[in-house]
Structure 1
Amino acid sequence: MITLYHAPQSRSSRMLWLLEEIGAPYEIKPVSIFRPMTGEGEGDPGNPHPDQRVPAIAHGGNLAAESVAIVLYLTEAFPEAGLGPLPGDPQRGAYLTWLAWYAAEMEPAMVAAMTGELDRAPMRQRYHAQVVRRIERALAQGPYMMGDRFTGADLLIASALAFGRQAFPESPTIDAYMTRCRERPAAIRGLALDDASGLQQAA
């Protein structure tokens, strides 16, 4: 059984989507968190995340925290879901590259745009533009980041775009990609579970 430590309408929301894609049994453990954008809430002592943030999962005696780590862990632990190339697969390197790129390039670019840092540090605008070009180049080759195959990388990238779409310029290509991802049955089920859980819950 997988336990997801979850705070509604947070980074752990996309883990509901991931768990629905995988289809393995799981339980949701609601935790409260500090929400930096509003300054509300506080960390939950019952949350095993090292920083009392989300997401975190427990599975078979293992604890995994942070979105990229959880995506990598679960796509390997449940290969039958087909959400990530396994070691030895010729596409493994590309998959790992997308996961690392998401954390190292896309997230910082999105946050910089949302916080106004791009205006204060024009040099960052170059990297921000590169992120958009990288996404659009990939989507010119297929409906998902790795062509015809939906992977954990798409889950990370599409969920970030859904949260911070205003951080990137208009792009019919990106909007169509977001729609494809959001219309997946698992994404719809995950969103419904998140909406049903309210804004903030305490353990």
Structure 2
Amino acid sequence: MRKTAILPRTFLALAVALTATACGLSDTPPAAPTSAPLDPHRAPADIRWEPWQGVNLPYGRTDGPSKVSEAALGYTHTPQGAALAAIQHRVRISLAPDATWARLASQALMPGPGKDAWVMARAQVSLTQPASPVMAPRITAYKFTTYTADRSNLIVYSTYSDNSITANNETVVWSSGDWRLLLPDPATKTKVVESVSEIPPDVVRLPSPT
């Protein structure tokens, strides 16, 4: 079957399109637990940024990820670990090149209709280039709408070079000792990403990449 070549324009473009159209889990141990109280309003400590496929991704010295290959795995069982996992997993499934996306999906995504639909749609396209500097987002902030030890929902905010802002709705589930991304069932018609005029004041701000 002929695959269609595409050039990523934003880190969300591919994943959102595939989820709209449309197994196993790794036993990677999580990062070392933190002794700090569980507080969804606290930012991850000691964030550093590293580029991947044209997008700067946040890494927490304490909260993970602690193991990176195709997927970024090993997060603390905390709100901070959940937030970093949601960001890392979303960017990586959006921009993973042809040679690595299948293994990444098997490690980072929860089984279910959302994953099945995404895998089927992703197999029909080809992605070989990173996001361009002009179109690459900057991960700016996030806010939990719900946090539990088993499943958490959050909104991740990103800004772009034209000052536009997107809000991405993410769900992560604690499974096999790590946070995994749960893609929505296409039948629910869940809105994954939307444009917003501003970032609300009650978010957790991430430091800017240096």
Quick check: TM above 0.5? no
Which structure carries more strand by proportion? 2
Give the TM-score range, shorter chain. Answer: under 0.3
Higher helix share: 1
Q: TM-score, normalising length from structure 1?
A: 0.27
TM-score (norm 2): 0.26
